[in-house]
Amino acid sequence: MLMSLSFAAALMLVLILVLLLFFRRKGVEVQLSPLVQFEDKLMLLSQARDNGELAEQDFVLAATELKAQYLQSQQVQQSAARPATAWVLATTAFILVGTLALYSQTGHFTQLQNWQTAQQQLPTYGERALLNQGEPLTEQEIELFALALRTKISKEGDDAVAWFVIGRIWLSKGMLDDAIEAFEKALALTPNRVNVLISYSQALLVGSGEENLAKAALSLSKVLQQEPENADALSMLAMVAEERGDKEQAQQAWQLLLPKLDKTDPRYALVQQKLGLTSTPEQGAESAAIVSGRQVSVQLSISPELAEKYKTGTLFVFAKAVDGPPLPLAVQKLAVFNGTQTIELSEAQAMQPGWTLANAERIQISARLSLSGQVLNDENGPQVQSDVLSFSEPKLSLSLSLQP
């Protein structure tokens, strides 16, 4: 932003200097030409007089006439120079106005204003975002908050809290790689901070991939060494184990997690299902009654052609807020199937604490097939999206179909 402003100013200055030098040089050339002619002619007259070819009286008359011609040419040149100078000034003013207009039209002026606002409002943004004082930040204010934090880091050096908050902001906006990098910078400064390790693991789990899963498992083990009862760490460790195909470790983690959850916790019913504790209709009805918060039931059909093409891929069914960050409110990651199945989304499938189905009034449901295994970074696979849905009641139902 500042570089753009500096570049525009430098360009304007260069153009002005070029114009001034051009006209100055042109003026000097015009000025020198009559002077040289005058000196040459006066020298010829002097030689003619000295050689006796011109009488003294005739020499004086000729020299006087020559001087008059020279002075007249000088007056003409000065008269011509004034319009040229005025033209340079007018051109300079035009360049200045044009540069400012271009700067404004390309958005750099607005960006500069935003940057200044971000610096001034940084303490207020921090109180509202981190201490829950006052109104929640709007989307624009969240972006300005991140900009102010980056500027603070560039001026004052690395700051673990600043990098952590930036990571949370970028994760909420779906900028997964940037979020992971920010969390890693925070951990480089505070390697054992539990909240940073949890957020880092969340981002890695969203990213999927064996390398990310290994890093997530290591981070979660560090959390559990400090807080063996941490429900978030146990929950994510179970999901990491499932992703890696380690059903035994996943079951152990779910078993450790279940007694630590209140029955009103949205995750309670999900963990019961993972442990196979809802096998009878009575138990299933009881579990459904226990589930609190908003839910979406999706009846999804996948065509045989797509099921065959993506049989080694991953199915994502997720909900996004119509008015809010692009990070999904809830996600189910499943094996690709052929035919029709019912998939449940609830507040238990949130990707980030504090951003669940309870935080949005209008949502859209999407189903996507992916070969990369990443819900955020793979938008090239076939997908289907619902119409905008409103939570007029706690549980919504809809049907979707994935076709070639």
pLDDT in tens, 232-269: 899 889 988 888 888 888 899 889 888 988 888 878 88
Structure-model confidence comparison of residues 401 and 354, the more confident one: 401
The confidence band for 377, taking pLDDT boundaries of 50, 70 and 90, is low
Give the model confidence (pLDDT) of 27-50 as tens digits.
444 444 566 666 666 676 666 666
DSSP string, 332-366: EEEE--SEEEEEEEEGGG-SBTTBSGGG-SEEEEE
CB-count exposure of residue 219 (10 Å: 0-12, 13-18, 19+): buried
Question: For 389, which DSSP code?
Answer: E
Instruction: Judge whether residue 116 has pLDDT over 90.
Output: no
Of all residues in the chain, what percent carry a pLDDT higher than 70?
A: 62
Instruction: Judge whether residue 9 has pLDDT over 60.
Output: no
- The pLDDT, as a whole number, for residue 181 is 93
Instruction: Judge whether residue 297 has pLDDT over 70.
Output: yes
Whole-number average pLDDT of the chain: 76
DSSP string, 148-168: HHHHHHHHH---HHHHHHHHH
